[in-house]
Amino acid sequence: MQINLSGHHVNITDGIREAVDSKFNKVSGHHPQLDEVAVTVTVEKNEQSVEAKSQYMGAPVVVQSADKDMYSAISSAAKKFDSALSHRKGATQAQRHA
């Protein structure tokens, strides 16, 4: 899986890149059909936010997470992204069996 990482008002350090790679590679292990994820890290006053976007089974999947700590925002975004992908996968399987 390819992870496109970009920053808005922040320099992407090696630590941020490693955290994003490790968290989102776990997600790709659960969903092998996932080809590409675009992750945007944004720093505003007193808030770090992470947005993850992808196409999965014909529909866009977008999640956002914000926190005071960058690494907890990355972790939260990865959990939300995994949950959204599972929800999308369940919806397509339900339509197929209906």
Mean pLDDT by 10 residues, the chain (98 residues): 92 94 90 90 93 89 95 95 83 54
Specify the pTM.
0.85
Q: How many domains does the chain have?
A: 1
- Other beta carbons within 10 angstroms of residue 4's beta carbon come to 11
Q: What tokens appear for 8 in the block?
A: 């808005």
DSSP single-letter state for residue 62: E
**Residue 46: which CATH number?**
3.30.160.100
pLDDT at position 89: 66
The CA distance from 59 to 19, in Å, is 26
Domain extent, residue 61, equals 2-97
